[in-house]
Structure 1
Amino acid sequence: MTPQRVTLITLGVDDLERSKAFYAALGWTPAQVQEGIVFYQLSGQVLGLFGRVALATDQGRPGAKLGTGAVTLAQNFASEAEVDAAFEIAAAAGAAVLKRPEKVFWGGYSGYFADPDGHVWELAMNPFWPLDEDGSLTLPEAE
Protein backbone atom coordinates (compact mmCIF):
# COMPACT_ATOMS: atom_id res chain seq x y z
CA MET A 1 0.00 0.00 0.00
CA THR A 2 1.36 3.45 -0.89
CA PRO A 3 0.74 6.65 1.10
CA GLN A 4 -2.19 8.79 -0.04
CA ARG A 5 -0.34 12.03 -0.80
CA VAL A 6 1.24 14.17 -3.49
CA THR A 7 4.53 15.80 -2.56
CA LEU A 8 5.72 17.24 -5.89
CA ILE A 9 3.86 18.42 -8.98
CA THR A 10 6.05 19.06 -12.03
CA LEU A 11 4.77 21.06 -14.97
CA GLY A 12 6.43 20.67 -18.36
CA VAL A 13 7.11 24.08 -19.91
CA ASP A 14 8.30 25.24 -23.32
CA ASP A 15 10.33 28.23 -22.12
CA LEU A 16 11.57 28.07 -18.53
CA GLU A 17 12.51 31.77 -18.34
CA ARG A 18 9.06 32.83 -19.62
CA SER A 19 7.38 30.54 -17.09
CA LYS A 20 9.57 31.81 -14.23
CA ALA A 21 8.64 35.39 -15.19
CA PHE A 22 4.92 34.50 -15.22
CA TYR A 23 5.00 32.93 -11.76
CA ALA A 24 7.15 35.84 -10.46
CA ALA A 25 4.41 38.19 -11.69
CA LEU A 26 1.98 36.19 -9.53
CA GLY A 27 4.26 36.95 -6.60
CA TRP A 28 5.81 33.48 -6.36
CA THR A 29 9.46 33.15 -5.33
CA PRO A 30 11.51 30.09 -6.27
CA ALA A 31 12.82 28.06 -3.33
CA GLN A 32 15.46 26.35 -5.49
CA VAL A 33 16.71 26.91 -9.01
CA GLN A 34 18.75 24.17 -10.61
CA GLU A 35 19.93 23.79 -14.17
CA GLY A 36 16.77 23.44 -16.24
CA ILE A 37 14.28 23.28 -13.34
CA VAL A 38 12.73 25.65 -10.81
CA PHE A 39 11.07 24.60 -7.54
CA TYR A 40 8.48 26.57 -5.56
CA GLN A 41 7.75 25.61 -1.96
CA LEU A 42 4.00 25.33 -1.43
CA SER A 43 2.12 24.49 1.74
CA GLY A 44 3.25 20.89 2.27
CA GLN A 45 4.13 20.36 -1.40
CA VAL A 46 6.52 21.55 -4.08
CA LEU A 47 5.70 22.76 -7.59
CA GLY A 48 8.40 22.31 -10.23
CA LEU A 49 8.77 23.86 -13.68
CA PHE A 50 10.83 21.68 -16.02
CA GLY A 51 11.42 21.99 -19.76
CA ARG A 52 9.12 19.63 -21.68
CA VAL A 53 11.93 17.98 -23.66
CA ALA A 54 14.00 17.37 -20.52
CA LEU A 55 10.92 16.14 -18.64
CA ALA A 56 10.10 13.60 -21.36
CA THR A 57 13.70 12.35 -21.25
CA ASP A 58 13.61 12.17 -17.44
CA GLN A 59 10.41 10.10 -17.71
CA GLY A 60 12.23 7.63 -19.94
CA ARG A 61 10.34 8.81 -23.02
CA PRO A 62 12.85 10.88 -25.03
CA GLY A 63 11.20 12.60 -27.95
CA ALA A 64 7.68 12.24 -26.52
CA LYS A 65 5.38 15.21 -27.15
CA LEU A 66 4.12 16.18 -23.70
CA GLY A 67 0.85 18.10 -23.54
CA THR A 68 -1.11 19.54 -20.67
CA GLY A 69 -3.82 16.87 -20.46
CA ALA A 70 -7.08 17.01 -18.58
CA VAL A 71 -5.69 18.35 -15.31
CA THR A 72 -6.67 21.40 -13.30
CA LEU A 73 -4.51 22.84 -10.55
CA ALA A 74 -6.53 24.77 -7.97
CA GLN A 75 -6.03 27.42 -5.34
CA ASN A 76 -8.81 27.94 -2.83
CA PHE A 77 -9.35 31.26 -1.10
CA ALA A 78 -11.40 32.38 1.90
CA SER A 79 -13.52 34.94 0.03
CA GLU A 80 -14.83 35.91 -3.38
CA ALA A 81 -12.84 39.16 -3.12
CA GLU A 82 -9.61 37.17 -2.68
CA VAL A 83 -10.47 35.06 -5.74
CA ASP A 84 -11.11 38.21 -7.79
CA ALA A 85 -7.85 39.85 -6.67
CA ALA A 86 -5.75 36.75 -7.44
CA PHE A 87 -7.48 36.36 -10.80
CA GLU A 88 -6.70 39.95 -11.80
CA ILE A 89 -3.04 39.44 -10.85
CA ALA A 90 -2.90 36.33 -13.07
CA ALA A 91 -4.61 38.12 -15.98
CA ALA A 92 -2.20 41.07 -15.66
CA ALA A 93 0.73 38.60 -15.64
CA GLY A 94 -0.36 37.32 -19.05
CA ALA A 95 -2.56 34.34 -18.15
CA ALA A 96 -5.11 33.28 -20.76
CA VAL A 97 -8.52 33.99 -19.24
CA LEU A 98 -10.67 30.89 -19.68
CA LYS A 99 -13.59 31.77 -17.38
CA ARG A 100 -13.81 34.85 -15.18
CA PRO A 101 -14.77 34.12 -11.56
CA GLU A 102 -18.49 33.72 -11.01
CA LYS A 103 -20.94 31.98 -8.72
CA VAL A 104 -21.12 28.32 -9.71
CA PHE A 105 -23.68 25.51 -9.56
CA TRP A 106 -22.13 23.76 -6.55
CA GLY A 107 -22.57 26.83 -4.33
CA GLY A 108 -19.14 28.36 -4.55
CA TYR A 109 -17.34 30.92 -6.66
CA SER A 110 -14.61 30.14 -9.18
CA GLY A 111 -12.80 31.07 -12.38
CA TYR A 112 -10.15 29.50 -14.62
CA PHE A 113 -7.01 30.71 -16.38
CA ALA A 114 -4.16 29.03 -18.25
CA ASP A 115 -0.49 29.79 -17.70
CA PRO A 116 1.77 30.47 -20.71
CA ASP A 117 2.19 26.72 -21.31
CA GLY A 118 -1.53 25.95 -21.17
CA HIS A 119 -1.62 24.52 -17.64
CA VAL A 120 -5.08 25.29 -16.28
CA TRP A 121 -5.57 26.82 -12.85
CA GLU A 122 -8.84 27.22 -10.98
CA LEU A 123 -9.16 29.97 -8.38
CA ALA A 124 -12.07 29.24 -6.06
CA MET A 125 -13.91 29.98 -2.85
CA ASN A 126 -15.77 26.96 -1.52
CA PRO A 127 -18.02 27.80 1.44
CA PHE A 128 -18.23 24.08 2.31
CA TRP A 129 -14.44 23.64 2.61
CA PRO A 130 -13.04 26.16 5.10
CA LEU A 131 -9.31 26.80 4.87
CA ASP A 132 -6.85 26.44 7.74
CA GLU A 133 -5.08 29.59 8.94
CA ASP A 134 -2.10 28.78 6.70
CA GLY A 135 -4.39 28.42 3.65
CA SER A 136 -4.21 24.63 3.56
CA LEU A 137 -7.31 22.56 2.93
CA THR A 138 -8.53 19.63 4.94
CA LEU A 139 -11.78 18.09 3.77
CA PRO A 140 -14.52 18.19 6.40
CA GLU A 141 -15.76 14.89 7.80
CA ALA A 142 -18.44 13.25 5.64
CA GLU A 143 -21.86 13.34 7.22
Structure 2
Amino acid sequence: MTPQRVTLITLGVADLDRAAAFYAALGWQPAELAEGARFYQMHGAALALFGLADLAADQGRPATALGTGAVTLAQNFETQAQVDAAYAAALAAGATPLKAPDSVFWGGYSGYYADPDGHVWELAMNPFWPLAADGSLTLPNPAG
Protein backbone atom coordinates (compact mmCIF):
# COMPACT_ATOMS: atom_id res chain seq x y z
CA MET A 1 0.00 0.00 0.00
CA THR A 2 1.36 3.46 -0.86
CA PRO A 3 1.23 6.41 1.57
CA GLN A 4 -1.76 8.74 1.36
CA ARG A 5 -0.08 12.08 0.73
CA VAL A 6 0.80 14.74 -1.82
CA THR A 7 4.16 16.51 -1.45
CA LEU A 8 4.47 18.63 -4.60
CA ILE A 9 1.80 20.07 -6.91
CA THR A 10 3.14 21.08 -10.34
CA LEU A 11 1.13 23.35 -12.59
CA GLY A 12 2.02 23.37 -16.27
CA VAL A 13 2.06 26.95 -17.54
CA ALA A 14 2.27 28.44 -21.01
CA ASP A 15 4.43 31.39 -19.91
CA LEU A 16 6.52 30.92 -16.77
CA ASP A 17 7.32 34.62 -16.30
CA ARG A 18 3.64 35.58 -16.61
CA ALA A 19 2.60 32.85 -14.16
CA ALA A 20 5.33 33.82 -11.67
CA ALA A 21 4.21 37.45 -11.90
CA PHE A 22 0.63 36.40 -11.14
CA TYR A 23 1.67 34.50 -7.99
CA ALA A 24 3.95 37.38 -6.98
CA ALA A 25 0.93 39.67 -7.26
CA LEU A 26 -0.82 37.37 -4.77
CA GLY A 27 2.12 37.80 -2.41
CA TRP A 28 3.70 34.39 -3.05
CA GLN A 29 7.50 34.34 -2.82
CA PRO A 30 9.40 31.53 -4.56
CA ALA A 31 11.45 29.43 -2.16
CA GLU A 32 13.58 28.06 -4.97
CA LEU A 33 14.21 29.06 -8.57
CA ALA A 34 15.31 26.55 -11.17
CA GLU A 35 15.77 26.66 -14.92
CA GLY A 36 12.24 26.55 -16.28
CA ALA A 37 10.55 26.29 -12.87
CA ARG A 38 9.54 28.16 -9.72
CA PHE A 39 8.92 26.42 -6.39
CA TYR A 40 6.74 27.79 -3.58
CA GLN A 41 6.65 26.45 -0.02
CA MET A 42 3.16 25.67 1.24
CA HIS A 43 2.10 24.24 4.58
CA GLY A 44 3.41 20.67 4.45
CA ALA A 45 3.80 20.66 0.67
CA ALA A 46 5.13 22.72 -2.21
CA LEU A 47 3.72 24.16 -5.42
CA ALA A 48 5.74 24.31 -8.63
CA LEU A 49 5.18 26.26 -11.83
CA PHE A 50 6.76 24.44 -14.78
CA GLY A 51 6.71 25.32 -18.49
CA LEU A 52 4.24 23.17 -20.46
CA ALA A 53 6.81 21.99 -23.03
CA ASP A 54 9.34 21.11 -20.31
CA LEU A 55 6.66 19.34 -18.24
CA ALA A 56 5.52 17.32 -21.24
CA ALA A 57 9.10 16.31 -22.07
CA ASP A 58 9.70 15.28 -18.45
CA GLN A 59 6.60 13.05 -18.63
CA GLY A 60 7.67 11.55 -21.95
CA ARG A 61 4.68 13.01 -23.81
CA PRO A 62 4.22 15.60 -26.55
CA ALA A 63 3.34 19.10 -25.30
CA THR A 64 0.07 18.93 -27.22
CA ALA A 65 -1.04 16.10 -24.90
CA LEU A 66 -1.11 18.44 -21.90
CA GLY A 67 -3.29 21.32 -23.00
CA THR A 68 -4.26 24.23 -20.78
CA GLY A 69 -4.34 23.71 -17.03
CA ALA A 70 -2.02 20.69 -17.02
CA VAL A 71 -1.34 19.45 -13.49
CA THR A 72 1.04 16.83 -12.09
CA LEU A 73 0.54 15.58 -8.54
CA ALA A 74 3.73 14.27 -6.94
CA GLN A 75 4.70 11.97 -4.14
CA ASN A 76 8.30 12.14 -2.98
CA PHE A 77 10.10 9.19 -1.39
CA GLU A 78 13.41 8.69 0.40
CA THR A 79 14.78 5.97 -1.91
CA GLN A 80 14.66 4.79 -5.50
CA ALA A 81 13.36 1.42 -4.26
CA GLN A 82 10.37 3.17 -2.66
CA VAL A 83 9.68 4.97 -5.95
CA ASP A 84 9.83 1.66 -7.83
CA ALA A 85 7.53 -0.05 -5.30
CA ALA A 86 4.97 2.77 -5.42
CA TYR A 87 5.06 2.76 -9.24
CA ALA A 88 4.50 -1.01 -9.33
CA ALA A 89 1.63 -0.70 -6.84
CA ALA A 90 -0.01 2.03 -8.93
CA LEU A 91 0.21 -0.07 -12.09
CA ALA A 92 -1.16 -3.08 -10.24
CA ALA A 93 -4.08 -0.94 -9.10
CA GLY A 94 -4.91 -0.01 -12.71
CA ALA A 95 -2.81 3.09 -13.43
CA THR A 96 -1.62 3.77 -16.97
CA PRO A 97 2.19 3.93 -17.22
CA LEU A 98 3.52 7.15 -18.76
CA LYS A 99 7.24 7.02 -17.96
CA ALA A 100 8.91 4.28 -15.93
CA PRO A 101 11.03 5.51 -13.01
CA ASP A 102 14.55 6.41 -14.07
CA SER A 103 17.40 8.79 -13.24
CA VAL A 104 16.54 12.33 -14.33
CA PHE A 105 18.48 15.41 -15.45
CA TRP A 106 18.09 17.28 -12.15
CA GLY A 107 19.91 14.59 -10.16
CA GLY A 108 17.01 12.60 -8.80
CA TYR A 109 14.91 9.63 -9.83
CA SER A 110 11.31 9.75 -11.02
CA GLY A 111 8.55 8.19 -13.05
CA TYR A 112 4.98 9.06 -14.08
CA TYR A 113 1.62 7.30 -14.29
CA ALA A 114 -1.96 8.39 -14.92
CA ASP A 115 -4.79 7.32 -12.64
CA PRO A 116 -7.93 5.84 -14.23
CA ASP A 117 -9.30 9.35 -14.83
CA GLY A 118 -6.10 10.52 -16.49
CA HIS A 119 -4.72 12.57 -13.59
CA VAL A 120 -0.93 12.46 -13.78
CA TRP A 121 1.17 11.48 -10.76
CA GLU A 122 4.94 11.73 -10.47
CA LEU A 123 6.75 9.46 -8.02
CA ALA A 124 10.16 10.87 -7.18
CA MET A 125 13.26 10.63 -5.03
CA ASN A 126 14.94 14.03 -4.80
CA PRO A 127 18.31 13.93 -2.98
CA PHE A 128 18.19 17.73 -2.56
CA TRP A 129 14.85 17.76 -0.71
CA PRO A 130 14.98 15.52 2.37
CA LEU A 131 11.65 14.38 3.77
CA ALA A 132 10.64 14.66 7.42
CA ALA A 133 9.92 11.51 9.44
CA ASP A 134 6.19 11.95 8.71
CA GLY A 135 6.88 12.11 4.96
CA SER A 136 6.22 15.83 4.68
CA LEU A 137 8.29 17.98 2.34
CA THR A 138 9.90 21.26 3.31
CA LEU A 139 11.89 23.05 0.62
CA PRO A 140 15.43 23.98 1.64
CA ASN A 141 15.83 27.56 2.86
CA PRO A 142 18.02 29.40 0.31
CA ALA A 143 19.10 31.84 3.03
CA GLY A 144 20.65 29.03 5.04
TM-score, reference length from structure 2: 0.53
Off by >2 Å, runs of 4+ in structure 1: 25-28
Q: Per-residue deviation at 1:69? A: 3.6
131 and 87 in structure 1: CA distance in 2 versus 1, 3 angstrom threshold: same
Query: Structure 2: how far apart are the matches of 1:27 and 1:135?
Result: 9
Match status 1:103 vs 2:103: yes
Match status 1:91 vs 2:91: yes
Q: Which residue of 1 aligns with 2:72?
A: 72
Cα pair 1:68 1:119 within 8 Å, conserved? no
Which residues of 2 match residues 10-21 of structure 1 at below 5 A? none
Amino acid paired to 2:110: S
* Number of residue pairs matched by the alignment: 84
Query: Structure 2: how far apart are the matches of 1:96 and 1:105?
Result: 23
Uncovered stretches (5+) of structure 2, i.e. residues with no partner: 5-42, 46-66
Amino acid paired to 2:139: L
Q: Which residue of 2 aligns with 1:139?
A: 139
105 and 92 in structure 1: CA distance in 2 versus 1, 3 angstrom threshold: same
Which residues of 2 match residues 1-143 of structure 1 at below 5 A? 69-142=69-142
86 and 119 in structure 1: CA distance in 2 versus 1, 3 angstrom threshold: same
Cα deviation digits, residues 64-95 of structure 1 (max 9, x gap): xxx99410000000000000000000001110
RMSD: 2.5
TM-score, reference length from structure 1: 0.53
Query: Structure 2: how far apart are the matches of 1:68 and 1:75?
Result: 23
Report which of the two structures shows the higher radius of gyration computed on alpha carbons.
1
Of all paired residues, the percent bearing the same amino acid is: 70
